[in-house]
């Protein structure tokens, strides 16, 4: 039977690191044209409420005509919207008090110093994003899980028995109604597996899945850079979790430990840390292996550049990124390579070859 899998789509680009106050980065039409001119076919769009120049999330959730207009503007510029992102709002669904002051900056000013109201606002933002994604015709959405347990990621002092379980139970309680909203919208909710989040590796994602009763919309945004910096096997990660991978960030990284610091980084800046994000092709990640495995398992989502590099300029990283992704895209085989040597088959012939009687 021929393979109907169309393969990974791309190149696409996440706009969060490029949005700014100067043209062409200060408007949806301008940045969409810029992306198309660089060879990108799609844009992944952040939805932070402080910047409605690109998308008004409330309006997108309520108005089909507004969403049709957004899609038309992007199409005119030469791209489509691959997914929406609520990384900042998702972070605020669960915040440990130690981080309250830092994460207040992600919320409207009137919610600063009001953690309960901030959480309620964040949950509502995610529900709006589910509806907006549906109206835009999207099938996946990017977010962070937030974190109640991150201050206790290293077990010293010894964690009280039941602390981790209680943290994940509360995380599930907050995310379950959001997952139901995405189920109703027919959109997968993809958590970026990321240090600083309670969902930061495979084991923590499994805990969350258990706590939400393996909700079918709970998926993974696969970004190998965050796995490399934790020294996970990012290729085996695909083997283990491919059925839950709903999105793909193409981001490079390198890990060069030394006698002074390793995975934890010693509170150093990004340039000095052993683990550093790099522009595509400048790091250590085996993207040929990643694209091959994702293609093997039938992933047909977008390959989305997320540019983060402590050395190379963003403009150069973006200019090089589209061709890098394009060179790694794989058209899935529509037939077996040895079909030319195929032979006729039947039950009786197979039994004869095995030296068995022609009838069972």
> How confident is the model at residue 3, as a pLDDT?
47
> How confident is the model at residue 341, as a pLDDT?
65
Q: Which helix (DSSP H) or strand (DSSP E) does residue 4 occupy?
A: none
Contact 305, 325 (CB under 8 A): yes
- Token reading at 217: 């919309």
Give the model confidence (pLDDT) of 265-283 as tens digits: 999 999 999 999 999 999 9
> How confident is the model at residue 1, as a pLDDT?
37
The pairs formed by 55-61 with CB atoms below 8 angstroms and a separation of 24 or more are: 55/28, 55/84, 55/132, 57/125, 57/128, 57/129, 57/132, 58/128, 60/128, 60/131, 60/132, 60/135, 60/136, 61/128, 61/129, 61/131, 61/132, 61/135
**Which domains does the chain possess?**
9-353 (3.20.20.150)
Give the model confidence (pLDDT) of 111-138 as tens digits: 999 999 999 999 999 999 999 999 999 9
Residues of the chain with pLDDT under 50: 1-3
> How confident is the model at residue 194, as a pLDDT?
98
> How confident is the model at residue 50, as a pLDDT?
67
Give the model confidence (pLDDT) of 164-179 as tens digits: 999 999 999 999 999 9
Q: What is the CA radius of gyration of the chain?
A: 23
> How confident is the model at residue 2, as a pLDDT?
42
């Amino acid at each position: 039977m021929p393979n109907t899998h169309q393969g990974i789509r791309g190149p696409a680009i996440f706009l969060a690191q490029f949005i700014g106050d100067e043209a062409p980065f200060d408007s949806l039409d301008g940045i969409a044209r810029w992306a198309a001119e660089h060879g990108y076919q799609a844009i992944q769009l952040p939805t932070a409420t402080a910047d409605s120049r690109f998308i008004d999330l409330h309006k997108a959730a309520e108005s089909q005509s507004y969403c049709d207009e957004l899609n038309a503007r992007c199409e005119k510029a030469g791209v489509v919207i691959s997914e929406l992102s609520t990384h900042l709002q998702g972070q605020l669904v669960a915040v440990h008090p130690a981080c309250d002051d830092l994460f207040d900056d992600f919320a409207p000013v009137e919610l600063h110093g009001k953690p309960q109201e901030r959480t309620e606002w964040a949950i509502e933002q995610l529900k709006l994003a589910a509806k907006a994604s549906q109206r835009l015709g999207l099938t996946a959405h990017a977010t962070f899980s937030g974190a109640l347990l991150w201050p206790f990621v290293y077990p010293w002092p010894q964690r009280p028995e039941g602390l981790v379980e209680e943290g994940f139970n509360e995380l599930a309680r907050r995310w379950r109604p959001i997952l139901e909203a995405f189920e109703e919208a027919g959109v997968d909710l993809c958590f970026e597996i990321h240090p600083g989040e309670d969902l930061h590796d495979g084991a923590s994602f499994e805990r969350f899945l258990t706590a939400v009763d393996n909700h079918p919309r709970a998926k993974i945004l696969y970004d190998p850079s965050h796995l490399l910096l934790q020294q996970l096997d990012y290729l085996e990660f695909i083997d283990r979790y491919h059925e839950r991978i709903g999105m793909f960030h193409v981001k490079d990284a390198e890990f060069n430990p030394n006698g002074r610091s390793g995975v934890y980084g010693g509170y150093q800046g990004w340039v000095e840390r052993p683990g550093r994000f790099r522009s595509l092709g400048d790091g250590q990640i085996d993207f040929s292996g990643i694209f091959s495995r994702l293609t093997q398992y039938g992933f047909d989502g977008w390959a989305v550049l997320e540019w983060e590099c402590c050395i190379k300029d963003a403009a150069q990283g973006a200019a090089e990124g589209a061709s890098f992704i394009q060179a790694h895209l794989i058209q899935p085989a529509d037939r077996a390579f040895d079909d030319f040597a195929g032979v006729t088959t039947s039950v009786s012939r197979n039994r004869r070859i095995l030296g068995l009687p022609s009838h069972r």
